[in-house]
Structure 1
Amino acid sequence: MHPLSRLFSHARNYRREVRIASLYSVLNKFFDVLPEVLIGVAVDVVVNQKASFLARFGIVEPKDQLMLLALITVFVWVGESLFQYLYDVRWRDLAQNLQHDLRMEAYRHVQKLDMAYFERNRSGNLLAVLNEDINQMERFLNGGANDLIQVFVGSLMVGGVFFVLTHELAFLALVPVPLILYGAFWFQRRLAPRYGAVREAAGALAARLNNNIQGIATVKAYAAEDYEAGHIEQGSDDYRARNGEAIRLSAAITPVIRMAILAGFTVTLLYGGFMALNGDIGVGSYSVLVYLTQRLLWPLTRLADLTDLYQRSMSSIERVMNLLQTPVNIRYDGRALPKAEVRGELAFEGITFAYEGSSRPALDGVDLRIGAGRSAAFVGSTGGGKSTLIKLLLRFYEPQQGRVLLDGVSVNELNLQDLRRAIGYVAQDTFLADASVAQNIAYGMPDASREAVIEAAKSAEAHDFIVALPQGYDTPVGERGMRLSGGQRQRLALARAILKNPPILVLDEATSAVDNETEAAIQRSLDRLVVGRTTLIVAHRLSTVRHADTIHVIDGGRIAESGTHEELLALDGLYASLWRLQTGERRAPSRV
């Protein structure tokens, strides 16, 4: 399906607005063509006077005829101006509303896509689609749609006047029109792949810029500014080259159209002039034909800009529509799960999962149960599969084999949003919105009172540093919380989980990136938070999990050992080796 058809098929709610805006464009063009006709009538009045065209309607005196023409001219210009205002407002409002709705629909759709999609696609490319591509569509609707309608309608109206005045000359004058249209579409077909390449290059450049800005601290620390500037220059050069290819082709449209216009105008000027000299048509009619030829053919030079704008927009619309049609592989609907009814008993049965493109599974036949209100820790080497279990519970991914159960029900059968509302998630890489401290603590809970926010901050031992900030709880934290230290960000994330008061708590390396003092403060908060709720803890620091009810050592996607801290030390296996490595303890001498 053509991109424009896909867009308007998708935006059915706006069909009435499109029809009204199109009607205003047609009426504006109708009034726009009339002044040329009035000029010809005025010439006819001056030349033929009492024998003019208007005299046939009972207005004999030339001065009265000119007064009537003046009144009609005022009416025509007012009508043209009125409908120009109306179509301008309608098309622009339509463009603004449609781009807003389309951006929000696309963003909401992106939020529903599985995590594997984000691993396959660069964030900068997604930003280009959600921002620049949708803006490009808006530019087309702002002016391009009206121009296309008016070129088409103007050609029909002028052609009609030509045929009324002289059939013979009309055919000759209109011969260039189909050639011009064919040439425009010929260029348009060849511009399509070039502008597709331009949009792809723009997305790649946006991805590089986004990545470098996010990692600006590392770039500076390694004095890699020139190196990264070279990467950006390479991407910008590619974008410039793709644009240059499209521009060279697009720039050729106008000269080609001008030559066709020259042919049509010359035919009218000469052939029509000969007809007027021979008395076949009047001087007024000849004036109308000359002016209308200009009015008919000259706007066709805008087809160059229209073709360029149109093709850029179609490439952008194609990318937006493709994004919207990306299938959502995670099921969102299902059984309602009231948070108050969640006991928190978890089970992982025969779980096997491999990431896309990986040659070996991250989890291989994992079976384990976690009782309601119990704490379970997962430790082991990096890449062993610890965090993957958490992602499967949160349904960021679906296992290839096996199932995850909550209170005896497969999580796949539960409403996804209800499931996630029942889980408090504190990750190593804390996400903070570009908002105030209080808004970040109440993230996802807009109805939370200020008193509840403060109480949660106190429980996370964050209250003291918050009140010391310039605006206290109303202090903006900056993009991704960059105005706060790592430990402060982590305490806000913990306060957020406390305020949520979930029946299930997930801590994924929640204290790995903080100093000892902050870790101790967070640990005190966690000791209070885990009481009475099912808790899953992923950690590299074994000191943070030694008091868990059960510790599972995951190695190579399998559970290698399970038990309490003391039981695992007595087993003298992988856990004991890790403990000795982190604490510096020596292996006890073997008894003979």
Structure 2
Amino acid sequence: MSSSNTSSFQALGRLLRYARGYRRHIIAASTCSIINKLFDIAPEILIGIAIDVVVNKESSFVASLGFTSAQSQILVLGLLTFLIWAGESIFEYLYQILWRNLSQALQADLRQDAYEHAQRLDMHFFESRSSGQLVATMNDDVNQLERFLDGGANAMIQVVVTILTVGLVFFVISPLIALLAFTPIPVIVWGAFYFQKKAGPLYADVREKVGNLSTRLANNLGGIATIKSFTSEAREAERLRQASEEYVQANRKAIRISSAFIPLIRMAILFGFLATFMIGGMMALDGELNVGAYGVLVFLTQRLLWPMTGLAAVVDQFERAMASTRRILDLIAEPVHVRDNVTTPLPQPVLGAVSFDNVQFRYGNSGAGVKGISLEVPAGHTLALVGATGSGKSTLIKLLLRFYDVQHGTIRIDDHPIQEVSLNSVRQAIGLVSQDVYLFDGTIRDNIAYGRPEATDDDIIEAARTAEAWGFIEALPEGLDTAVGERGVRLSGGQRQRLSLARALLKDPPILVLDEATSAVDNETEAAIQRSLRRIGHNRTVIMIAHRLSTIVHADQIAVVQDGEVTEQGTHDQLIARDGHYAAQWRVQTGAAADTV
């Protein structure tokens, strides 16, 4: 998603635009950082003034302010020192509170906005991205930015304040020494920008490797049963080791650059310090420079240059944060193609009539899809879709739910084009039970009531009875309070499928979609689901995708889909009489084909 060619300063600009709602907070935190640094520099100046008082007494700089005795001058300097140290402490407390609160608020907003935007993205986005990369962006990248705001932002501001303030004092006291002391600054700044240029792509690569590592961990932990059954523990451990090693190597390249930067700064600092120490000392010996002023310059040279040894760490932290910022903001900027721009809902009550009128759609990556499909499902009727895997059956369901938008043609509910009513009202009218059942980590009650969190236990139990799930729920020691585990791992496949059906029924949608809901269950569960469907099919539109033709013989209409087109259509008896593809499949599944051989 992110581009390593985008500069870190552009990423910072994007972050500041995103955080414009925190502008006053940022200004307040920056102001406290600046004032704290001014107080921090002041003691070195007071030391020089104190030396001036001790050496020159009644002729000192403080004496010119009206304090004639050396004792009164020392007392004044002592009072100033107390006020300066107190001020420094107060503003350090304030800037830490402000920056840390800002980092917490901003990281929470970024994570929430990234997640909420991700929920609005098209299914194509999730089908082309790994969940590990997305989790790394919303979690690790956000945390990386938080760490920078906690301390790095303040450090960068204070480095700039130090250079400007100390530079002003130097040029007031001695322009010559100022020029000599500031000679290393261009070298240090050049080094910082050189490091930034070299390190930017390296840290973008580090963030990419973190995502890959997260993906590997998520996949392996999710597929631990498969790994164990194939005794592939050693192989998967080696794959994880390789992903981890790639992350380590990416970090090592970045560390190599940052480590080389510190010795460069140290040598530049040594030159500036020696220039002030030696030339300023000679000038003081010759009487060209006040002894107190010389002391100020020596102390301020340390204050100016030595903190720059930490500039590498600050820039390093900045680069890491901006690499993360690019990934976060790129996710938030990801375009949404299926938009809910219409506020008009489906007129109530929704009867459930569904029509596909010359619907065409093609997936960009594979070219598969549907072409020119037209189907009518009257309200309260059942449509069954059959056909080979990849023929386009599930694509029709995705288009009905507006996971994708049709490229040509129209899908209507109760004669209303679904793109002309709100997306929320379309999906509220449809209950989906898919082959790949997803249960959330929680209780059975939580999962059945997922579509209606306010539902009472009586409503939940009624839905469970209708889905023929109450029998096994009631037998569990904790009943509805039984924890299902992550993805429902503590339940059998048939139990998960019945809970999924109960969840859809509790929603009480006028349109119920079953996407191969019985293909992966045992005969007992299939029979239970069939009994449920016969009860709930009355006064409800049901669209079924099935490979087992025995489950759809009572459907009002059956459509055979091949290569994205409807090739046969009718009732079970009509299609058997036609003796086409459906009849051939029926003979194979019932054993009639074998009997005729």
The question of 1:392 aligning with 2:422 is answered: no
**Residue 522 of structure 1: aligned partner:** 529
**Residue 502 of structure 2: aligned partner:** 495
Distance change in 2, residues 1:501/1:86 (3 Å): same
- CA distances 1:321-380 after superposition (whole Å, capped 9, x unpaired): 222221111121225224732121111111222222224x33222111111111001112
**Residue 572 of structure 2: aligned partner:** 565
Distance 2:505 2:93 in 1: 56
- CA distances 1:147-170 after superposition (whole Å, capped 9, x unpaired): 000000111111111122222211
Distance 1:588 1:365 in 2: 38
Q: Give, in angstroms, the shift of residue 211 of structure 1.
A: 1.8
The equivalent position to 2:386 in structure 1, one of 376, 379, 398, is 379
Q: Give, in angstroms, the shift of residue 222 of structure 1.
A: 0.8
RMSD value over aligned CA atoms? 1.8
CA contact (8 A) 1:116 1:356 kept: no
Q: Counterparts of 1:249-268 in structure 2 under 5 Å?
A: 249-268=257-276
CA contact (8 A) 2:341 2:422 kept: yes
Question: Amino acid of the residue matched to residue 162 of structure 2?
Answer: G
Q: Give, in angstroms, the shift of residue 492 of structure 1.
A: 1.4
**Residue 4 of structure 2: aligned partner:** none
- CA distances 1:161-197 after superposition (whole Å, capped 9, x unpaired): 1122222211211121122112111111111111112
Greater shift after overlay, 104-113 or 57-66?
Answer: 57-66
CA contact (8 A) 1:339 1:422 kept: no
CA contact (8 A) 2:346 2:421 kept: no
CA contact (8 A) 2:360 2:371 kept: yes
Distance 1:547 1:115 in 2: 32
CA contact (8 A) 1:331 1:412 kept: no
The question of 1:50 aligning with 2:48 is answered: no
Q: Provide structure 1 residue ranges, at least 5 long, that are not aligned to the other structure.
A: none
**Residue 546 of structure 1: aligned partner:** 553
CA contact (8 A) 1:504 1:534 kept: yes
The equivalent position to 1:98 in structure 2, one of 95, 106, 111, is 106
Q: Give, in angstroms, the shift of residue 394 of structure 1.
A: 0.6
Tell me the TM-score normalized by structure 1.
Answer: 0.96
The equivalent position to 1:311 in structure 2, one of 319, 329, 333, is 319
The question of 1:148 aligning with 2:156 is answered: yes
**Residue 10 of structure 1: aligned partner:** 18
Distance 1:282 1:334 in 2: 77
The question of 1:213 aligning with 2:221 is answered: yes
Distance 2:491 2:403 in 1: 28
Distance 2:144 2:596 in 1: 73
Secondary structure at 1:36 match in 2: helix
Secondary structure at 1:341 match in 2: coil
Q: Give, in angstroms, the shift of residue 235 of structure 1.
A: 1.9
**Residue 467 of structure 2: aligned partner:** 460
Q: Give, in angstroms, the shift of residue 274 of structure 1.
A: 0.8
Percentage identity across aligned positions?
52
Distance 1:398 1:532 in 2: 28
Greater shift after overlay, 397-406 or 243-252?
Answer: 397-406
The question of 1:291 aligning with 2:294 is answered: no
The equivalent position to 2:33 in structure 1, one of 15, 25, 31, is 25
Distance 1:475 1:21 in 2: 49
**Residue 282 of structure 1: aligned partner:** 290
Distance 1:342 1:408 in 2: 11
**Residue 198 of structure 2: aligned partner:** 190
Distance 1:498 1:302 in 2: 62
**Residue 483 of structure 1: aligned partner:** 490
Question: Amino acid of the residue matched to residue 165 of structure 1?
Answer: I
**Residue 232 of structure 2: aligned partner:** 224
CA contact (8 A) 2:468 2:529 kept: yes
Question: Amino acid of the residue matched to residue 243 of structure 1?
Answer: N
Distance 1:161 1:483 in 2: 72
**Residue 40 of structure 1: aligned partner:** 48
Secondary structure at 2:468 match in 1: coil
Distance 1:238 1:565 in 2: 57
The equivalent position to 2:370 in structure 1, one of 338, 363, 377, is 363
Distance 1:482 1:587 in 2: 39
Question: Amino acid of the residue matched to residue 591 of structure 2?
Answer: G
Greater shift after overlay, 21-30 or 9-18?
Answer: 9-18
Distance 2:40 2:268 in 1: 23
**Residue 533 of structure 1: aligned partner:** 540
Question: Amino acid of the residue matched to residue 484 of structure 2?
Answer: V
Secondary structure at 2:409 match in 1: strand
Question: Amino acid of the residue matched to residue 196 of structure 1?
Answer: A
The equivalent position to 2:76 in structure 1, one of 58, 68, 75, is 68
Distance 1:56 1:436 in 2: 80
**Residue 437 of structure 1: aligned partner:** 444
Distance change in 2, residues 1:468/1:71 (3 Å): farther
Distance 2:214 2:451 in 1: 29
Distance 1:467 1:240 in 2: 51
**Residue 110 of structure 1: aligned partner:** 118
**Residue 414 of structure 2: aligned partner:** 407
Distance 1:588 1:482 in 2: 41
Distance 2:424 2:37 in 1: 52
CA contact (8 A) 1:375 1:549 kept: yes
Number of aligned residues: 589
Distance 1:139 1:117 in 2: 29
Question: Amino acid of the residue matched to residue 564 of structure 2?
Answer: G
Which consecutive segments of 4 or more residues in structure 1 shift more than 4 A? 586-590
CA contact (8 A) 2:346 2:416 kept: no
Distance change in 2, residues 1:588/1:184 (3 Å): closer
